[in-house]
């Protein structure tokens, strides 16, 4: 069974540009979560999608947005990139967004903003 | 405000020794405490988790100790091996919460020296 896949592995952008990151969940999983892992800051919750709907978002500005497609894959968009957006962006999936569902993480997209 | 405080930030242990990572929390509504293991270039993976109705949970060489009154929990890795070298994150979540409610510590970079 394939795990959570993310693309691209690395992404280099300049300030003010837009970045698009993609995630394919494990087959059968309907929930997708996005996290930002900045150096020394642990994992910060960004967005949660389930069944195509945004269910919750973390304490991030509106220029962080995304969507979930009918096949449950997901896209994270970051507009007007700032230097501090440089981080590892992790996608995770679960069968559904319930309290007891185990999270499975992808290997992440390393975003560098120059 | 950091809801889960993790220490130390980095840790070097000799092969065969015991690695101990500590976490403390303030929110008494937390009732699920997982630990994640992250190898370089990979996403975090659930290692072991505990609920506050038990004081200790052991899986192989990994043990979580939980002190509800002190609001602290710790990960012990017995007979530490070079393959255990990774970053470890503790996390906590409120009762009934989903994965979007996970609050992560900042991580501990563990190095096991051969």
Measured between beta carbons, the chain B residues lying within 8 angstroms of A107 are 41-43
Q: Quick count: other Cβ atoms within 10 Å of Cβ B56?
A: 11
Please tell me the distance from the alpha carbon of residue A27 to that of residue A36, in angstroms, as a whole number.
Answer: 23
What does DSSP assign to residue A59? S
Distance from CA of B113 to the nearest CA of A (A): 22
Q: How distant, in Å, are the alpha carbons of A31, B23, B83, B90 from that of B108?
A: 28, 10, 15, 9
Residue among B89, B97, B101 minimizing CB distance to A42: B89
Q: How confident is the model at residue A95 (pLDDT cuts 50, 70, 90)?
A: confident
What is the per-residue pLDDT for B101? Answer: 83
What is the per-residue pLDDT for A97? Answer: 60
The parts of chain B modelled with pLDDT lower than 70 are: 1-2
Would you report the helix, strand and coil content of chain A in percent, each value rounded to 5? Answer: 5, 50, 45
Measured between beta carbons, the chain B residues lying within 8 angstroms of A105 are 42-45
Measured between beta carbons, the chain A residues lying within 8 angstroms of B6 are 42
What is the per-residue pLDDT for B94? Answer: 86
pLDDT in tens, A47-70: 999 999 999 999 999 999 999 999
pLDDT in tens, A13-55: 999 999 999 999 999 999 999 999 998 788 999 999 999 999 9
CB contact under 8 A, A55 and B100: yes
Residue among A41, A58, A105 minimizing CB distance to B44: A105
Enter the tokens of residue B5.
């405080």
Residue among B41, B43, B107 minimizing CB distance to A90: B43
Please tell me the distance from the alpha carbon of residue A103 to that of residue A33, in angstroms, as a whole number.
Answer: 9
* Phi, psi dihedral angles at A28 (to 5 degrees): 95, -15
Q: Is A62 exposed, middle or buried (0-12, 13-18, 19+ CB in 10 A)?
A: exposed
Q: Report the 3 state secondary structure along A67-104.
A: EECCCCCEEEEECCCCHHHCEEEEEEEECCCCCCCCCE
What is the per-residue pLDDT for A19? Answer: 98
Distance from CA of B84 to the nearest CA of A (A): 18
A59 at interface of B, judged by CB pairs closer than 8 A: no
What is the per-residue pLDDT for A40? Answer: 79
What is the per-residue pLDDT for A39? Answer: 85
What is the per-residue pLDDT for A8? Answer: 97
CB contact under 8 A, B6 and A42: yes
Q: How many degrees, rounded to 5, is the angle at CA A39 between CA B103 and CA A74?
A: 65
| Residue B41 Rama label (left phi>0; alpha psi -120 to 50; beta) | left
Task: Determine which of B44, B90, B98 to mutate to test the interface with A (most A C-beta atoms within 10 Å).
Answer: B98
Q: How confident is the model at residue A100 (pLDDT cuts 50, 70, 90)?
A: low
Q: How confident is the model at residue A1 (pLDDT cuts 50, 70, 90)?
A: low
């Amino acid at each position: 069974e394939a795990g959570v896949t993310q693309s691209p592995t690395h992404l280099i952008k300049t300030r003010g540009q837009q970045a698009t990151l993609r995630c394919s969940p494990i087959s059968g999983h309907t929930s997708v979560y996005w996290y930002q892992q900045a150096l020394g800051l642990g994992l910060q919750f960004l967005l949660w999608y389930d069944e195509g709907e945004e269910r919750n978002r973390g304490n991030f500005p509106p220029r962080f947005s995304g969507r979930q497609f009918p096949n449950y894959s997901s896209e994270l968009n970051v507009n007007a990139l700032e230097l501090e957006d440089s981080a590892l962006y992790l996608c995770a999936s679960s069968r559904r967004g319930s309290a007891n569902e185990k999270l499975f993480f992808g290997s992440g997209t390393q975003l560098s903003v120059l | 405000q950091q809801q889960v405080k993790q220490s130390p930030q980095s840790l070097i242990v000799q092969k065969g020794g015991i690695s101990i990572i500590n976490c403390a929390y303030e929110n008494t509504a937390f009732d699920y405490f997982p630990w994640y293991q992250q190898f370089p270039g990979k996403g975090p993976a659930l290692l072991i988790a505990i609920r506050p109705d038990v004081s200790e949970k052991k899986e192989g060489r990994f043990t979580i100790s939980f002190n509800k009154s002190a609001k602290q929990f710790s990960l012990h890795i017995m007979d530490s091996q070079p393959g255990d070298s990774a970053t470890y994150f503790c996390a906590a979540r409120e009762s009934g919460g989903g994965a979007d409610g996970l609050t992560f510590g900042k991580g501990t970079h563990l190095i096991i020296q051969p």
